[in-house]
Chains A and B, each alone.
Chain A
């Protein structure tokens, strides 16, 4: 593994790293001053496009390209929403960026607002991050006092206000149109697209939604240059015209059954095994991994034999997972029952489905009921076919559900049944010796839904 000096995490461990003085002493805000004085918004868009930066919030869409979808010469207002809802199980990189180096995030936001001609930016922050809230607010106050926010920033004619807006503990507020509805004061029901937010978003105005880590990357691209960013990661595959490459450093969140859980900054493309062994000190207690989540629970499962998969935007898809997602790697050791894993996953999605779309509302709740029944020793082999059917259909056809939650709920089911079917069968036969082969309908256990 190449040795790598952290950039996004450069402030980690520095005393008072969250202050503006510390940030400026590390070279922060100088790029902003230079770009505001010398460049036009379109130059910043071109810079970010040229860097190959892909959004860090889960979908991996090209950041610069997304900005170009805004209407040209719009009279405004245009809004920038920063997605700090971070609720994908296993994910905590945004929290660390906001707590340890909030000015890096803020500089990225100011640059992105300049590029998109937004004069208001909202940071939608999940309620469970009180420390991030206080640190960000303190940093925003410092930035106003230093003239980096407010009217006519540094005499450039560009003005920007940043406001913090807190959520109320719902995963669906991380979906960009759910976030927009929530910010508008309504239930966080994702919207049917199109229209996409770039055309009609927050308060029905053109809107860009970007993740916190994406903002930190923009700040570092401005400071260190496009060539620096492109020198890190995995270049585009010349044989695949649809692969734009995976450039830049990435914050990998490592948790579960590892010796040293934590947030590690590495070049995109490190393998799961390298991350677990070299950063995380290996699977805990000297055990073996049974399965590993590659990028948040929505992405599905890799088996131990798939751990040499590179964690870039294209990697997890090659072993049948949904994608890189949030690059949150969760290690599950060999002692864990796959039934327990899937029950946990189904419970999460049944709780978080917003209930608008029938396949998602019913699919998540029925899969949970089935897992409760299997766990309670009343499973039947036929349940596995039904679960596989849910896993293979719910949200799979684009447009059959309003947002990507259904797809994310389906992937762990699909992967678990496909990659660990034998273990499910053994469990069902062992715990339900007299009923595992029955095929009559069964009354479901009651569960309490949410949202």
Chain B
């Protein structure tokens, strides 16, 4: 066995993450089906899935890194370059929310926080992303902030809500 070189990058996937992935293995007849669950497990901890983590997931699942990366990029849900904010706010822009001010809400929130859509505040606290219908049109316009659905938002109420600390998304 070759000992890892001193400058080898530290492993990103923790034993706990790998154990969480393995715990799901009996749910599926093959390991490729663990791809999305594994990406979610890593993303929940790191708030992004860097390339090295992709390679490590592939090694755990017995896949080519390209296969995992292919799946990851399709969804555009997992950030790769850097972590999304501690609060990740999906602001709905689909029709029922748009009819009740969704576009204005998104624009105002980005403006107030000095970021573009999909951007993260410099302190790493908040990411604002446009989202398609969140399935909560009865509370339009709405925002999903980590695991919390923020209902019937105005730019003012949303700004106050998004400044509150929140449990990370599960």
Contact = CB atoms under 8 A, between A and B. Distances in A.
**Majority SS at the chain A contact face:** mixed
A90 B131 contact: no
B138 A185 contact: no
A65 B76 CA distance: 37
Interface in B73-108: 74-78, 90, 93-96, 98-100
Interface residues of B, number: 42
Interface in B3-55: 27, 29-30, 32-37, 39-40
Given A166-B37, A185-B35, A89 B138 contact: no
Contacts of A347: 93
B75 A166 contact: no
Contacts of A187: 70-71, 74
Contacts of B33: 183-185, 203
A344 B138 contact: no
Contacts of B74: 170, 187-188, 354, 451
B138 A253 contact: yes
Given A170-B77, A297-B94, A352-B132, 6 more contacts: A168-B39, A168-B78, A169-B131, A186-B32, A344-B94, A348-B94
Interface residues of A, number: 61
Nearest to B169: A130
Nearest to A132: B135
A293 B95 contact: yes
Nearest to A163: B27
Interface string B145-162: 001010000000000000
Interface in A336-382: 336, 340-341, 344-345, 347-348, 351-352, 354
A256 B131 CA distance: 17
Interface string A37-69: 000000000000000000000000000000000
Contacts of B67: 185-186
Interface in A314-346: 328, 330, 332-333, 336, 340-341, 344-345
Nearest to B140: A255
A352 B132 CA distance: 9
A283 B111 CA distance: 32
A150 interface: no
A87 interface: yes
B137 interface: yes
Interface of A: 77, 86-92, 94-95, 126-131, 133-134, 161, 163, 165-171, 182-188, 203, 253-257, 261-263, 293, 297, 328, 330, 332-333, 336, 340-341, 344-345, 347-348, 351-352, 354, 450-451
Interface of B: 27, 29-30, 32-37, 39-40, 67, 70-71, 74-78, 90, 93-96, 98-100, 131-140, 144, 147, 149, 169-170
A237 to B, nearest CB: 31
Contacts of B70: 186-187
Given A128-B90, A336-B99, A352-B132, A255 B40 contact: no
B96 A182 contact: no
Given A169-B77, A169-B131, A341 B95 contact: yes
A348 B98 CA distance: 12
Given A185-B36, A187-B70, A255 B135 contact: no
A113 to B, nearest CB: 15
A345 B135 CA distance: 16
Contact of B40 (A126, A168, A188): A168
A185 B71 contact: yes
A348 B40 contact: no
A161 B100 CA distance: 42
B11 to A, nearest CB: 22
9 contacts: A86-B135, A88-B133, A89-B95, A90-B133, A134-B170, A167-B36, A185-B67, A186-B67, A263-B138
A351 B94 CA distance: 11
A90 B137 contact: yes
A256 B144 contact: no
